[in-house]
Structure 1
Amino acid sequence: MSSDKQPNQYKPLPPEDQVLPIIKKYFDLRRSDVDILRYVHAEIDLEVYGMSIKSLRRLKQKHGLVSTRQQAHTIESIAPYVSEVRTRLPAIGAGDMVSALWHDHGIRAPHGLVLAHDKAVDPVAVAARKRKGLKRRRFWATGVNDVWSFDQHDKWKRFGLMLHLCVEVFSGKLLWLKVWWSNRQPPLLASYYLEAARECGGVCLVTQSDPGGENYGIANPHTVIRQHLDPSLAGTIQHRWMRKGVNVKSEIKWSVFRRQFAPGFEGLLEYGLTMDIYKPTDALHVLIFRWLVIPWMQLQMDNYRIRSNQKLPRKNNKKVLPHGIPDLIFERPQDYMAADYKVRVDEDLLDAAQEKYAPADHPVFQLVPPIFDARVQAAYATLGRPAVTVNTLWTIYSALLNEVSNHLTPGEQAIVYGISVTSDEAVDFLPELPGEYVPWPNHGAQNAG
């Protein structure tokens, strides 16, 4: 009798390194095991491999992907983590707290448990968040990547921080949420657009914004890219200029941002002004503030954007657009009976647009002047490179300000105080004619994918 092991009737499991990223991705999106298995089946060769729901659960258990029920949290066990999140995001409700606990601390807590905690700790705040203050507006979109809507936000201008975002309107996915010392320089806005185009592998059909000369920073490269790939669009502008209050989707995102993200961080920044720690009219104060605060605040906004894109919003029966997680609608529109109108763009075409509209040597891309960056880097190293948090921000800022000011040479002082830090005016940037020829790489017209 042969001792060779006979194969059974089941197909072998796919390699773990192939399926584990897929499982983790949709586990992080809080999808059910049935949904995760469906996504795995869509990615593997089912002629060769197989996977059952039991195999999936064994693989999850092996790699510590524990469900909400299995984590078995209580009000007492989540309390310190909820308190930590509230130091940064004091105004978010239970649904967003569930998302923040998972994203920031790996805690899967049910919505009811978080709500029970909030009602026990601060019932007044829970009641305040339930007020019905929504204003309904209409917006139409035919599918994913039909329209990208972008807008700036100047509410933090008094701190020297300028914000900008873009939303894919059909899915509600935030494509970018940026903080910088400017939001009115066209090359900077062009860089945001081109970065998103690289991440998405293409561009939308039409961009949209409020009126404003700085918005040509996106309208121009988008129009020329679309014309380059589809010559029939020559003589047209692939951008919509919306009157004030009509760029609805971006304005909704800013409203949610103001309600959920802004209060805690705005209070932190306001403290620095009130206590006279930070003087936004002093060039040295401003440059150290930019160097320390902008990268840290960008990290906080990146986390907020990821949470927003991975969170299932509350169902709205008055909404015609599909209900689902923005990331999933954007990546898998076919699951929502929707089309994807993405126009695929090659890297060399994006490189040409980058060189023309967002040249890397433009001064707007300097966080601080290079000579000052070297000085503040050395000072930060002297302090031991402390981690910036909501509790340490102003302590580190004060120590850094003292260390830098004590070691600035007369030449460096002349450079620092010769910089204008009180204005954010757009550079001269004349609109292009819609049909202007640009000698970019010729790939012929490409269809929307």
Structure 2
Amino acid sequence: MVNLLFHEHAMSVLRNVVIAYFSKYEVDLVRQRKARRLQRQQFWAAGVNDLFAVDQHDKWLRFGLASHTGIEPFTGRIMWMRVWHSNQNPQLILTYYLETIQELGHRFFFMSFYHNAIDVVITDMPMVTQSDPGSENFGIANAHTMLRQWHNLTLQGTLKHRWMCMKKNVMPEITWSQLRHRFTPGYENYLDSGVDAGWYDCGNALQRLIFRWIFIPWLQRELDGYKDRINNTAKRHDQNKVLPRGVPNLIYDSPGDFGVLDFRIILEPGAIGRARNLNLNLNHAVFELVPRDFGDFIHQCYNELGHPVVDRRSAWNVYLDLHQIISRLYKQLPPVVLPDDNLNDDFLPLLENHEDLAFRDGNDGAYYMGGVGGGLGLGVFSPCMQH
């Protein structure tokens, strides 16, 4: 609790103050905790690729930064973790999903009957996607449902996406909490240092564009490194979870070696491209880091600086140097440099005449949100995850 107050609310509270508070105002919770009788909610997953859970993160919006992640709950594998200047546009969020399942493809080479070398990429996807309610997730819900229905006509009329209305979107929330504890504090302090020094004002359009151009690619590299560390590190044993023990990447890539089921759906060649063509306008401005003309201009200024490396030691220095050059050449700026404030006003309607997946909620508080058995799960849930 002390760490949570510090990192989430910037409050430095002594441990004995927290203990005194709970002893006075939360007597029953303290008694339950001491008796180890806290009620745990149980979240069940039938196996690998039962579902992907996605969620956005808005803690850095004061810097003009928006984050998004996708999790494979059974293995705990982070499928993507992205930072951009928006996380509310349904087309943008959909690209994260489509790019991920495209990258999961496996390349095979074999010889045909006529001794010609054939190169085939096999791609796959989970049974179900899951998110909080919100129109920014309509793109994933639509495209994933279309992909499932193209490969199984019996699924017509059923949305293959879960909306977490009554139940919390558990796994992404845990991932964000861990990120806030393990990754965020140092980087957030570094970003705050530039704001506190008066170098960056998110409300200033020119400063915001320069900040985006420098900081988003650097922070994305740092997040990629964090994701790889998490996915290649075995998680600590938890007596409250019945899961295979091992490295998330290894469990995901070779579930049979860990004695667990794999529910991945193999896609036909070209299916992802077809979904992309039907649901995306890749010329949309939301996909641009900064407006194109301004991007060309700032790149020229960056080259004038000698193409300096951007990292934690240099990011603010590069920002200040670029800001100085661009301010001096202000009259040479492209005529359109302001970002479109309506990038998120791109409403995408949800598929019509589709019913939600069936839902199974056990009498013991356990609930299943995957896609096995039409959403009702296996006859006997095994293995499970408990939170």
User: Are 1:425 and 2:344 matched, yes or no?
Assistant: yes
Alignment of 1:4-19 (within 5 A): none
Alignment of 1:54-69 (within 5 A): none
Which AA in structure 1 matches 2:308? P
Q: Hey, what does 1:383 align to over in structure 2?
A: 305
Q: Deviations over 1:289-310 (max 9, x none)?
A: 1111101100000000000000
Which AA in structure 1 matches 2:90? P
Q: Hey, what does 1:346 align to over in structure 2?
A: 268
Seen in structure 2, the aligned counterparts of structure 1 residues 411 and 302 have a Cα distance that, compared at 3 Å, is closer
Which AA in structure 2 matches 1:185? N
Alpha-carbon distance between aligned partners in 2 of 1:336 and 1:426, rounded to the nearest angstrom: 45
Which AA in structure 1 matches 2:347? D
- Out of 423-432 and 158-167, give the one that drifted further: 423-432
Which AA in structure 1 matches 2:290? V
State which of 247, 256, 262 in structure 2 corresponds to 1:334. 256
How large is the RMSD of aligned CA atoms in angstroms? 2.2
Which has the larger Rg? 1
Alpha-carbon distance between aligned partners in 2 of 1:242 and 1:260, rounded to the nearest angstrom: 26
Deviation of the 1:426 alpha carbon: 4.0
User: Are 1:182 and 2:103 matched, yes or no?
Assistant: no
Deviation of the 1:244 alpha carbon: 6.6
Seen in structure 2, the aligned counterparts of structure 1 residues 295 and 187 have a Cα distance that, compared at 3 Å, is same
- Helix, strand or coil for the counterpart of 1:158? helix
**Where is the helix percentage greater, Structure 1 or Structure 2?**
1
Alpha-carbon distance between aligned partners in 2 of 1:430 and 1:329, rounded to the nearest angstrom: 36
Q: Verify the 8 A CA contact 2:69 2:78 in the aligned structure 1.
A: yes
Alpha-carbon distance between aligned partners in 2 of 1:184 and 1:386, rounded to the nearest angstrom: 32
Alpha-carbon distance between aligned partners in 2 of 1:154 and 1:244, rounded to the nearest angstrom: 21
Deviation of the 1:137 alpha carbon: 3.8
State which of 143, 158, 172 in structure 1 corresponds to 2:62. 158
Q: Which has the higher contact order (CA 8 A, sep 6+)?
A: 2
Seen in structure 2, the aligned counterparts of structure 1 residues 266 and 245 have a Cα distance that, compared at 3 Å, is farther
Deviation of the 1:432 alpha carbon: 1.7
Q: Hey, what does 1:266 align to over in structure 2?
A: 188
Seen in structure 2, the aligned counterparts of structure 1 residues 397 and 335 have a Cα distance that, compared at 3 Å, is same
User: Are 1:416 and 2:333 matched, yes or no?
Assistant: no
State which of 306, 322, 330 in structure 2 corresponds to 1:400. 322
Alpha-carbon distance between aligned partners in 2 of 1:189 and 1:368, rounded to the nearest angstrom: 18
Alpha-carbon distance between aligned partners in 2 of 1:420 and 1:405, rounded to the nearest angstrom: 21
Which AA in structure 2 matches 1:428? F
Alpha-carbon distance between aligned partners in 2 of 1:241 and 1:230, rounded to the nearest angstrom: 22
Deviation of the 1:409 alpha carbon: 3.2
**Where is the strand percentage greater, Structure 1 or Structure 2?**
2
Alpha-carbon distance between aligned partners in 2 of 1:358 and 1:270, rounded to the nearest angstrom: 35
Alpha-carbon distance between aligned partners in 2 of 1:136 and 1:299, rounded to the nearest angstrom: 36
Deviation of the 1:392 alpha carbon: 1.2
State which of 269, 290, 296 in structure 1 corresponds to 2:212. 290
User: Are 1:362 and 2:281 matched, yes or no?
Assistant: no
Deviation of the 1:420 alpha carbon: 4.2
Q: Hey, what does 1:11 align to over in structure 2?
A: none
Which AA in structure 1 matches 2:283? D
Seen in structure 2, the aligned counterparts of structure 1 residues 332 and 297 have a Cα distance that, compared at 3 Å, is same
Which AA in structure 1 matches 2:199? I
Which AA in structure 1 matches 2:42? R
Q: Verify the 8 A CA contact 1:137 1:248 in the aligned structure 2.
A: no
TM-score w.r.t. the length of structure 2 is: 0.75
Alpha-carbon distance between aligned partners in 1 of 2:239 and 2:159, rounded to the nearest angstrom: 35
Q: Deviations over 1:152-201 (max 9, x none)?
A: 00000000000000001111110000000000001101100101111222
Q: Verify the 8 A CA contact 1:237 1:434 in the aligned structure 2.
A: no
Q: Hey, what does 2:164 align to over in structure 1?
A: 242
Alpha-carbon distance between aligned partners in 2 of 1:174 and 1:403, rounded to the nearest angstrom: 39
Which AA in structure 2 matches 1:153? H
Which AA in structure 1 matches 2:200? Y
Alpha-carbon distance between aligned partners in 2 of 1:411 and 1:169, rounded to the nearest angstrom: 47
Alpha-carbon distance between aligned partners in 2 of 1:339 and 1:323, rounded to the nearest angstrom: 14
Identity of aligned residues (%): 39
Q: Deviations over 1:209-259 (max 9, x none)?
A: 011111111111001110111000000000110037611011111110110
Alpha-carbon distance between aligned partners in 2 of 1:274 and 1:373, rounded to the nearest angstrom: 27
Seen in structure 2, the aligned counterparts of structure 1 residues 234 and 279 have a Cα distance that, compared at 3 Å, is same
Seen in structure 2, the aligned counterparts of structure 1 residues 169 and 434 have a Cα distance that, compared at 3 Å, is farther
Alpha-carbon distance between aligned partners in 1 of 2:61 and 2:149, rounded to the nearest angstrom: 36
- Residue segments in structure 1 that go unaligned for 5+ positions in a row: 1-90, 92-132, 437-449
TM-score w.r.t. the length of structure 1 is: 0.64
State which of 178, 188, 210 in structure 1 corresponds to 2:132. 210
Alignment of 1:25-36 (within 5 A): none
Q: Verify the 8 A CA contact 2:286 2:343 in the aligned structure 1.
A: no
Alignment of 1:46-125 (within 5 A): none
- Helix, strand or coil for the counterpart of 1:334? helix
Alpha-carbon distance between aligned partners in 2 of 1:182 and 1:267, rounded to the nearest angstrom: 21
Q: Verify the 8 A CA contact 1:283 1:420 in the aligned structure 2.
A: no
Aligned length: 303
State which of 89, 94, 99 in structure 2 corresponds to 1:195. 99
Seen in structure 2, the aligned counterparts of structure 1 residues 332 and 301 have a Cα distance that, compared at 3 Å, is same
- Helix, strand or coil for the counterpart of 2:43? coil
Deviation of the 1:405 alpha carbon: 2.1
- Helix, strand or coil for the counterpart of 2:175? helix
Q: Verify the 8 A CA contact 1:309 1:325 in the aligned structure 2.
A: yes
Alpha-carbon distance between aligned partners in 2 of 1:175 and 1:434, rounded to the nearest angstrom: 30
Which AA in structure 1 matches 2:188? E
- Residue segments in structure 2 that go unaligned for 5+ positions in a row: 1-6, 8-32, 105-122, 356-387
Q: Verify the 8 A CA contact 1:167 1:174 in the aligned structure 2.
A: yes
- Out of 321-330 and 152-161, give the one that drifted further: 321-330
